[in-house]
Structure 1
Amino acid sequence: MATDVHRPVTPNAPNTPTTHATSAVRVEGLTRSFDGRAVIDQLDLDVKPGEFVALLGRSGCGKSTLLRILAGLDRDIEGTVLVPRRKAVAFQAPRLMPWKRVWRNVLLGLKGKPERGVAERALEEVGLKHRTNAWPKTLSGGEAQRASLARALVREPDLLLLDEPFGALDALTRIKAQRLVDELWQRRGCAVLLVTHDVEEAVLLADRVLVMDEGVIAYETEIDLDRPRGISDPRFAELRAELLKRLGVDAPDAAEAEPVAAA
């Protein structure tokens, strides 16, 4: 069955089945196989409107495959997948077209003939308006990633899919990018699904963290910490240690401050 879509993501929206009215994402019995091997195996998942969900798991567990399916980029599936029509994706690689200036990259793929001002507003939101007319090759890694986020936000998504968007950034730039995404999410109120290998990143940003293993959601936990969050919070350390345990990684001493990736 190919990926199904539904337009509304808010409760009691017109013409929306009651069973799906309170979900931004509804996945039931999803299976995706490659050469006879099920990478995703009868997976179920719900994401509420406005919820920030982080997805952890070892390399090869199916995280990015799931995100591609939710994005509508992989339709060779079995099961039911319901997602908003208005969705956007930001990948680890910014994927900017080098022959188009930054503002034109932001508008790339939009229907009709949107004006430059639409791109400028999105670039201003991510702190990049001063680079509106720049060529992609002149951007730093952090600036390129912000341009990628602007390209996603300009679509006014009800669902924002992030596939390890900070993985290629240096530590300081990654911290700034994480804070930016947190601010944008709180301002926009869209649902977010973040695929990441970074356990601390997941606990810092998400309302709920899922651990994927052998093609299913094997564990999930609510992150009931006040925002903004800090790694010095004892509860933060507890959540981090439990997630590392679920990922099969021995937690380091609490005194260590370096981010720990799942795999």
Structure 2
Amino acid sequence: MATDVHGPVTTGAAKPPAPASAVRVEGLTRSFDGRAVIERLKLDVRPGEFVALLGRSGCGKSTLLRILAGLDRDIEGTVLVPRRKAVAFQTPRLMPWKKVWRNVLLGLPGKPERTVAEKALEEVGLTHRSDAWPKTLSGGEAQRASLARALVREPDLLLLDEPFGALDALTRIKAQRLVGELWQRRGCAVLLVTHDVEEAVLLADRVLVMDGGVIAHETTVDLDRPRNITDPRFAEVRAGLLERLGVATAAEAG
């Protein structure tokens, strides 16, 4: 029987999440047309921990994130996550007929005041664009609006599905720095799905590699922050992860 638990709701014999875990997954299986994309997967994320998830295309990374977000419930196993969670995707998914501040409040219960949106927009440096229409935003601005929409929910778990993938190199660096600062300020748990090994090492406390439908490898990134990509220790961690992914050098990864 499938057991899917999001927040305090429980099904079957599942127990509430332990205080020591922001995410607890046991025996998770997700199949499509009889083929298991995720199979008996186990995952734990501590409160306040930043975890990055790497893996080849099609390995199930985004499927796992959608399950944790409550967007895919056709599963077997146990999934325990906080009630307060938010997700930001690679595509900002802003409603073009709503101004930026209204997009930030989209989906919130009740009738929150504009000041709630303005506070979140201030955190991501976008207050000056609160009255703009989404079509007038740059790619980086649209992604910051998407982050503000996630942050306004005061999440205990922030799920990021390749949020920087469509950005140019310079904007991507700024967005990565912003996410790192927001995480340190907010203190929520973060799970980042990415194809970028350097990005994972730059941001995460722990990097997981998904393969064959399971978490096949994990690396603790024990480097001081802010991290320097020219640090030999950074290069060593990156090289080890590239090797685990079957890539001999960083140049080949591109």
TM-score class normalised by the smaller sequence: over 0.9
1:92 aligns with 2:90: yes
- Asked whether the equivalents of residues 204 and 221 of structure 2 are also in contact (C-alpha less than 8 Å), the reply is yes
State the identity %. 83
- Scaled by the length of structure 2, the TM-score of the pair is 0.95
- Asked whether the equivalents of residues 16 and 80 of structure 2 are also in contact (C-alpha less than 8 Å), the reply is no
Select the residue among 1, 20, 30 that pairs with 1:22.
20
Instruction: Point out 4+ residue stretches in structure 1 off by more than 4 angstroms.
Output: none
User: Aligned partners of 2:87 and 2:155: how far apart in 1?
Assistant: 9
Query: 1:82 corresponds to which residue?
Result: 80
Matched residue SS, 1:243 = helix
Superposition deviation, residue 6 in structure 1: 3.2
Query: 1:130 corresponds to which residue?
Result: 128
Query: 1:13 corresponds to which residue?
Result: none
Matches within 5 A, 1:98-109: 98-109=96-107
Superposition deviation, residue 210 in structure 1: 0.1
Matched residue SS, 1:53 = strand
- Asked whether the equivalents of residues 41 and 214 of structure 2 are also in contact (C-alpha less than 8 Å), the reply is yes
Query: 1:34 corresponds to which residue?
Result: 32
Query: 1:197 corresponds to which residue?
Result: 195
Matched residue SS, 1:61 = coil
User: Aligned partners of 2:207 and 2:182: how far apart in 1?
Assistant: 19
Q: Give the superposed CA RMSD.
A: 1.4
Matched letter for residue 157 of structure 2:
L
User: Aligned partners of 1:150 and 1:35: how far apart in 2?
Assistant: 37
Superposition deviation, residue 131 in structure 1: 0.3
Superposition deviation, residue 20 in structure 1: 1.7
1:3 aligns with 2:4: yes
Query: 2:147 corresponds to which residue?
Result: 149
- Asked whether the equivalents of residues 247 and 253 of structure 2 are also in contact (C-alpha less than 8 Å), the reply is no
Matched residue SS, 2:80 = strand
Matches within 5 A, 1:214-253: 214-252=212-250
Matched letter for residue 120 of structure 1:
E
- Asked whether the equivalents of residues 200 and 260 of structure 1 are also in contact (C-alpha less than 8 Å), the reply is no
- Asked whether the equivalents of residues 86 and 153 of structure 2 are also in contact (C-alpha less than 8 Å), the reply is yes
- Asked whether the equivalents of residues 17 and 81 of structure 2 are also in contact (C-alpha less than 8 Å), the reply is no
- Asked whether the equivalents of residues 27 and 46 of structure 1 are also in contact (C-alpha less than 8 Å), the reply is yes
Matched residue SS, 2:81 = strand
- Scaled by the length of structure 1, the TM-score of the pair is 0.92
Matched residue SS, 2:73 = coil
Superposition deviation, residue 21 in structure 1: 1.9
Matched residue SS, 1:4 = coil
Matched residue SS, 1:69 = helix
User: Aligned partners of 2:124 and 2:43: how far apart in 1?
Assistant: 30
Structure 2: runs of 5+ lacking an equivalent? 9-14
Superposition deviation, residue 18 in structure 1: 8.6
User: Aligned partners of 2:68 and 2:17: how far apart in 1?
Assistant: 19
1:105-149: per-residue Cα shift (whole Å, max 9, x none)? 000000000000000000000000000000000000000000000
- Asked whether the equivalents of residues 55 and 196 of structure 1 are also in contact (C-alpha less than 8 Å), the reply is yes
Superposition deviation, residue 3 in structure 1: 2.3
User: Aligned partners of 2:160 and 2:176: how far apart in 1?
Assistant: 11
1:131-178: per-residue Cα shift (whole Å, max 9, x none)? 000000000000000000000000000000000000000000000000
- Asked whether the equivalents of residues 2 and 76 of structure 1 are also in contact (C-alpha less than 8 Å), the reply is no
Matched letter for residue 152 of structure 1:
A
Matched residue SS, 1:160 = strand
Query: 1:164 corresponds to which residue?
Result: 162
| Count of equivalent residues | 247
Matches within 5 A, 1:167-178: 167-178=165-176
